Amino acid sequence: MTRFDEKRAAASSFAGPVRTCIVTGVEKSPDRMIRFVVGPDGEVVPDLARRLPGRGLWVTAERSAVEQAVARRLFSKAARRPAKASADLADRVERLLLERVCEDLGRARRAGHATAGFVRVEQMIGRGQVGLLVVAEGAEGDGLAKLQASGLPIERLGDAPTLGRVFGREQAIYLAVARDDRSGQFIQRIAGGAARWRRYRLNSTG
């Protein structure tokens, strides 16, 4: 298969707009990419919301791809102008991806659609209100096994202190997001964001 065929095969797997990765040259849906722009000071800036002005420089949403873009100075090449990409850009993107999901969790909590703590989560499951479970990456043992036995979708996300800050506590390991019959907005955004963060981390050159 030629490189052109690879691009065409990747693009044909979905409908809608596509963007070309400056690292691989493969076209993908914007949802599978990360947009960057070069700021007024020449600094490469991640634009996860895709709203910043300027020409978009698209990279596959994988840590290894961002690392390669920095190491090979591909942002300058794609922008056709000097572009300063910090050495910790891949780490910054990972933090931003996690922060976006935590922001959505915070909105769900404030709207009364999310709770933390194993007992509360179990009670919520018992009432048939849960649409999504979120557990810290380090979760294991009987607690996790019980939640897995519920058959509900589970997303791994962050560590216990990070999730705890969303709920104003020192740490949180088990979270539940209520089923939102009006639109499913919270569940869709949180599940999608958690999966995006996890895929990014798993695809690393380190």
Domain closes at, from 58, 87, 116: 87
66 by DSSP, 3-state: which? Answer: helix
The verdict on 131 and 188 lying in the same domain is yes
DSSP state of 35: E
The verdict on 56 and 107 lying in the same domain is no
The verdict on 120 and 189 lying in the same domain is yes
The verdict on 76 and 127 lying in the same domain is no
Domain count, the chain: 2
Contact 179, 123 (CB under 8 A): no
Q: What is the pLDDT of residue 203?
A: 78
pLDDT in tens, 56-83: 999 999 999 999 999 999 999 999 999 9
For the entire predicted model, the pTM comes to 0.87
Range of 183's domain?
Answer: 94-202
DSSP state of 42: S
Task: Give one DSSP letter per residue of 5-34, joined into a string.
Answer: HHHHHHHTTS-S--EE-TTT--EE-GGGEE
Below-70 pLDDT ranges, the chain:
1-15, 181-184, 204-206
